[in-house]
Amino acid sequence: MTKLLLPNKTIGIIGGGQLGQMMALSAKEMGFKVGVLDPNEDSPASQVADWSITASYDDQKSIKLLAEQSDIVTYEFENVDASSLEKIQHKVLIPQGLDILKISQNRQFEKEFLNRLKLPIARYRIIETEDDLKKGIDELGYPCVLKTCLGGYDGKGQVVLRTSENISESLLLINKGNCVLESWVSFEKEISVIVSGTQDNQYQVFPISENIHRHNILYQSIVPGRVSKGCQNKAQKMALSIAKQLKIRGTVTIEMFVTFDESLIINEIAPRPHNSGHYSIEACNISQFDAHIRGICGWPLPNIYLHQEAVMINLLGEEVTDAQVAILEQPNWFFHFYGKKEIKKDRKMGHITILSNSLKGTLKEISESKIWNQRG
């Protein structure tokens, strides 16, 4: 039975980064109160919330306090301690549930889940020891990629093995815990499919985003992704099958590789809104964050459509100053700054979305801008 959460009720968000901030803004627009739990006192989400708790994500006392002060609880990223959330399930509704959290935060569980659905993934082996690694390399061959089962983002927690010289570096990861060794995937493009679901098992799929990374950090998202209609339909069907199997409430993101013959290989699942979906704030009739809040609160979802083609570009620490200069030069660009106090190289500090009448022209405009010259 659907639990409808009405305005003036409180949504507790675990995680205070930019995703939590944009969730909170959507929630406030719909009339909800928002509380945030994050280790940082002045996190982006806490800046726009009604109240916040400064504590680590595994601080059971603080998580219990968040639950007691909230009507429902959601999380903005997958590295939340699932065991801590299990202990508050009887105190507060967690509409996303814990199944998708446990699956997406452990690469071994994720691979096993996708295998059960008979969805295409890279060949892999679970690695616990140096001997496992050598056997895995013999079976999968070079190049291959070693990834930690737990944690890791933006290229962290992984090593590309091209020759036996990379084995010593790989042992540092294995010593920290179990890993997944994946065969190398030759792909032409990376895409993501964002799906939002409600407690009544209704689902909506956002337009597919084509994602370009530089140094393992998302650089651009181009929407709609430049793949064939058949490839788009196949990707959306795969993503929907995952969402339905997990009975998704709120927003989930499925990242995929597109090979040169437009075959699809699923890379990973993110149980939340995603960096590649930021374009939806301006380019769609409803954003991924609006859809997430609606989904977890039992509100119905409208049919999602794209107003206009768009390109979203991340702003890292080293790009912020030039981006601020561009505010006066680019009145048609949509600037988002997250309010992070400390500016660091390679840290995501904001993003820019450009609505486009010509993707080719917009991409040329971006490449000619000096803002992103340092990316190489």
Note whether 26 and 290 are within 8 A (CB): yes
46 has pLDDT over 80 = yes
Selection from 271, 78, 98, 246 nearest residue 157 by Cα: 78
The pLDDT assigned to 2 comes to 56
Does residue 154 or residue 295 have the better pLDDT? Answer: 295
Given a cut of 60, is residue 101 above it in pLDDT?
yes
What is the per-residue pLDDT for 239? 98
CB 159 within 8 A of CB 145: yes
Mean pLDDT across the stretch 205-210? 98
* Confidence bin at 157 (pLDDT 50/70/90): confident
Does the pLDDT of residue 154 top 90, yes or no?
no
The per-residue pLDDT for range 290-340, each reduced to its tens digit, is 999 999 999 999 999 999 999 999 999 999 999 999 999 999 999 999 999
Question: Is the pLDDT at 128 greater than 70, yes or no?
Answer: yes
Fold held by 123-183: Dna Ligase; domain 1 (3.30.1490)
CA-nearest of 104, 93, 99, 94 to 245 is 99
Count the helix, strand and coil residues of the chain and give each as a percent rounded to the nearest 5.
35, 30, 40
Neighbouring CB atoms inside 10 A of 317's CB total 16
The tokens for 342 are 């400390």
pLDDT at 156: 74
Phi then psi for 160, rounded to 5 degrees? -90, 120
Among 109, 120, 280, 311, CA closest to 194: 280
In a 10 Å sphere around its CB, with 0-12 CB exposed, 13-18 middle and 19+ buried, how is residue 219 labelled? middle
d(CA 299, CA 315): 33
- Which residues, listed in sequence order, are joined to residue 28 by a DSSP beta bridge? none
User: What is the mean pLDDT of the segment spanning 154-182?
Assistant: 90
The reported pLDDT for the residue numbered 1 is 46
Of the two residues 199 and 244, the one the predictor is more confident about is: 244
Statement: residue 5 has pLDDT above 50 = yes
Q: What is the pLDDT of residues 235-244, one digit of tens each?
A: 999 999 999 9
SS3 for 213-270 is EECCEEEEEEECCCCCHHHHHHHHHHHHHHHHHCCCCEEEEEEEEECCCCCEEEEEEE
Torsional sign, CA 62, 106, 216, 219: negative
User: For 120-130, what is the mean pLDDT?
Assistant: 97
**Residue linked to tokens 């060794």:** 181
User: What residues does each domain of the chain span?
Assistant: 10-94, 123-183, 189-375
CATH dotted code for 189-375:
3.30.470.20
- Element housing 231 (H / E): helix 229-245
CATH tag, 10-94: 3.40.50.20
Residue 178 bridge partners (DSSP): none
What's the rounded Cα separation, in Å, for the pair 128 and 206? 38
Question: pLDDT at position 173, please?
Answer: 92
Q: How far apart are CA 274 and CA 211, in angstroms?
A: 12
> How high is the mean pLDDT of the chain?
95
CA dist., res. 146 & res. 167, Å (int): 10
H/E run at residue 316: strand 309-316
228's CB contacts (< 8 A; 6+ apart) are 262
Model confidence band, residue 374 (pLDDT cutoffs 50, 70, 90): confident
Neighbours of 267 (CB within 10 A): 18
